Structure 1
Amino acid sequence: MIRLGVQTFINYIWKKEVTFKVPMFLDKMNAKKIIVPLLLIFLCRTDGILAQEAPLTIKVLSYNIHYGVGMDGKKDLKRIAGVINTINPDIVGLQEVKDSTMMAALGQLTNMHNVFGASTEKEMPNLYRLLDIPVPDSQLHYGDGILSKYPFDYVGNVSIPSASSSRYEAMCINVDLSKKSSEKIMVRFITTHFDYLNTIGSQMARNAAVEVIEAAFITKDSYKAYIMTGDLNATPESEVLNVLEHKGWQKGDFDEELPTVPSNAPRKQIDYVLVRPKERWKVIDVRVIDEPMASDHLPILMTLELIPGD
């Protein structure tokens, strides 16, 4: 409406008789030559203001890729990448990534920034800790990964409790969404994979994992908008989802369960995209993507609007 009003006014001044008075040293044509550029400058500045007020919307995907092995038993990273490219998310949290080589390949296939977070080492897992030296990339395997259209700073990863023989972790980045906005906007993004057993011990481990993530990555003074994706190995009515809700995490105001496993006949939801605090996010849509072959899990997609805040 502003654009139309200004343009109409410019046309009127240019084509019609000008009824306002101009200084004696300016004739009518010179007055038009001065006024019209000024109005164009105003129009450009108005467009900038309108652009700043537009809501920032992002699409976030959580996907357990089962090391690239599909329900047909075939390992096919191109198939996984094809699923992601078709969905076209802004940020992706991946679980069950084999190693940094697989993560780098997915980054190349999707043309997205990427980082790998390992859960365990291949050989002599305690030796590097005893010697207090970094674990070589060649020794890191099994973990999670993050893909992002936008640049980010890697915060790190942390081991989380497990009651099974498997080891799990959570990883975190600070992603810069400035390319989607006229202002610098940083969001803290976490992805994780919780213990899988249906035992009291694993239930306690999942609850404890929430506390580890809270202590490691939730810094209330620095970052005020958070997203977490993950295979939580827990259904919506489970205790760990209640624990997460009490911490401020929300999955949107949607009552229906969105089954994600098994991918060829999904019966229960164990994969999630969560956000906090509620005041900073409007959950526009949450859906499961119908891709029954590429992995044993279905990807889950959340479309979000970031609400301006301090």
Structure 2
Amino acid sequence: MKLRIASYNLHKGRGMTGPHAPERNLQVIAELRPDIITLQEVDFRLGARPEALPRALISELTGLEPIQMRTTGETSLGWHGQSILMRPDLARDAVIRRLPLPGIEPRGALAVKIGNLTLIGVHLGLARSSRRAQLARLAAKASRLAGGSVMMMGDFNEWREDRGLESLETLRVIAPGPSYPAPMPRLRLDRIAVSHCVKVLATGVADTPLARRASDHLPIWAEITLPSA
């Protein structure tokens, strides 16, 4: 199976300074043409955590659909601000799990099983001590859930190459390129960690004029093939 998988921190659809314009983010996603995309900051942060990315527009503008799961609140799209969009044919058989994470701030990850791949969407904490604890928890969970083929993708919030990722030593860690801040990207905050049995064909950063306006992060993507079950 060949898949194009992406990750995108939407910054609640506000771009760098506002106003709220989620149609821009959905156009960026549509131009990426992913089979699956993990999303961060899909809900507003305060109050009932209502959706910042209108679910009514997702299918119309991207052809994808959000994975069905129990969300943070009645009007939320995601859990801890995260969601996963997929092609409808993939979404029908997908199995989703919510993974609570330790740390100073409330955080969680989403794990979805597609064929023999477990994809984990992440948005790690701002403190390196929290990120280390979160990655250690995720690495332990992945070894039990995945059966060999695992891929983590998202906003790792880690700008260093030489520290903070120690728990991922059994995985191949890829930073496709600078993704933050979007108008003048310098930091590789958005990353991929993948089992060695998963073949990575290509990776990249979607650096377009629209993407530089639509969020404070640029999306990243990877094309992969999975080993036979």
TM-score range, shorter chain: 0.7 to 0.9
Aligned letter for 2:164? V
Higher helix share: 1
Q: TM-score, structure 2 length as denominator? A: 0.82
Asked if the contact 1:103–1:115 (Cα under 8 Å) also holds between the matched residues in 2, the reply is no
User: Structure 2 matches for 1:59-208, cutoff 5 A?
Assistant: 59-98=4-43, 101=51, 102=53, 104-105=55-56, 107-108=58-59, 109-115=61-67, 137-138=74-75, 142-149=80-87, 150-151=90-91, 152-163=93-104, 166-175=105-114, 185-196=115-126, 202-208=127-133
Distance (whole Å) between structure 1 residues aligned to residue 99 and residue 26 of structure 2:
26
2:209 aligned with 1:296, yes or no?
Answer: no
User: 1: CA distance between counterparts of 2:80 and 2:109?
Assistant: 12
How far the C-alpha of 1:300 sits from its partner, in A, is 0.7
1:112 deviates by: 1.4
Q: How many residues align?
A: 215
Distance 1:212 1:272, change over 3 A: same
| Greater relative contact order structure (CA < 8 Å, 6+ sep) | 2
Aligned to 1:285: 202
1:28-43 mapped onto 2 (5 Å cutoff): none
Aligned equivalents of 2:130, 2:85: Cα separation in 1: 27
CA offset digits 1:141-194 (Å, max 9, x no partner): 74101011112434321221223xx4211111112xxxxxxxxx3321110111
* 2:147 aligned residue (209, 216, 223): 223
Q: Distance in 2 between matches of 1:169 and 1:186?
A: 22
TM-score (norm 1): 0.62
Aligned to 1:233: 157
Pick the aligned partner of 1:275 from 182, 194, 213. 194
- 2:173 counterpart letter in structure 1: K
AA matched with 2:107: Y
Partner in structure 2 of residue 262 of structure 1: 181
**1:236/1:219 CA distance change after superposition, 3 Å:** same
246, 251, 264: which one pairs with 2:173?
Answer: 251
Deviation at 1:117, TM superposition (A): 7.1
Structure 2 letter corresponding to 1:158? L
Unpaired runs of at least 5, structure 1: 1-55, 122-135, 176-184, 197-201
Q: Would the alpha carbon gap of residues 208 and 263 (structure 1) be closer, same or farther in structure 2, given more than 3 Å must change?
A: same
Alpha-carbon RMSD across the aligned residues, in angstroms, is 2.6
> SS of 1:75's equivalent?
coil
Q: Give yes or no for contact 1:68–1:77 (8 Å, CA) kept in 2.
A: yes
Cα separation, 2, equivalents of 1:233 and 1:81: 23
- The superposition leaves residues 12-49 of structure 1 with CA deviations (integer Å, 9 ceiling, x where unpaired) of xxxxxxxxxxxxxxxxxxxxxxxxxxxxxxxxxxxxxx
**Structure 1 counterpart of 2:31, which letter?**
T
Name the SS of the counterpart of 2:25 in structure 1: helix
CA offsets 1:217-252 (integer angstroms, 9 cap, x no match): 4326x63321211111102514222321x1x22135
Distance 1:261 1:118 in 2: 30
User: Contact 2:176–2:220 (CA<8 Å) still a contact in 1?
Assistant: no
Pair 1:307–1:141, CA change in 2 (3 A): closer
Alignment correspondent of 2:46? none
SS in 2 for 1:268: coil
Counterparts in 2 of 1:105 and 1:239: CA distance versus 1, 3 Å: farther
Larger Rg: 1
Which consecutive residues of structure 2, in runs of 5 or more, have no partner in the other structure? 44-48
